[in-house]
Amino acid sequence: MLPLVVVVLAGAYQAVLAGEAVWQSRVAARAAARAHAVGEDPAAAARGHLPGRLERGLQVKADASGDVRVSVRIPAVFPSASVGRVGATSHFRPQS
């Protein structure tokens, strides 16, 4: 019975980590889009709004229309496992 409890707890914790990564990627995308709209570095803004454990593997892509896409790796309960990535897109019109 104990192994089943451990697996269930690990799965629940992994779901929490994935949810946090989604939430944080949305926050970072908004910050990056705001920075991009005023001519600042969107990657630096995104990095500044992410916890340290999500900074590794950060990808930021900005285009001329004001769209900024931020993608982060989902932290894994077991470090040797690769869970995947989540991302978010935000848009701010470029400011004059």
* pLDDT tens-digit map of 45-55: 999 999 998 99
pLDDT at position 47 is 96
Do the domain assignments include residue 28? yes
Q: How many domains, in total, are found in the chain?
A: 1
Do the domain assignments include residue 96? no
67 lies in which domain range?
2-91
The Cα 50–Cα 91 span in angstroms is: 18
Q: How far is CA 80 from CA 41, 50, 64, in A?
A: 32, 22, 38
- The phi, psi pair for 95, rounded to 5°, reads -95, 140
The Cα 76–Cα 78 span in angstroms is: 5
pLDDT band, very low/low/confident/very high, at 95 (cuts 50, 70, 90):
confident
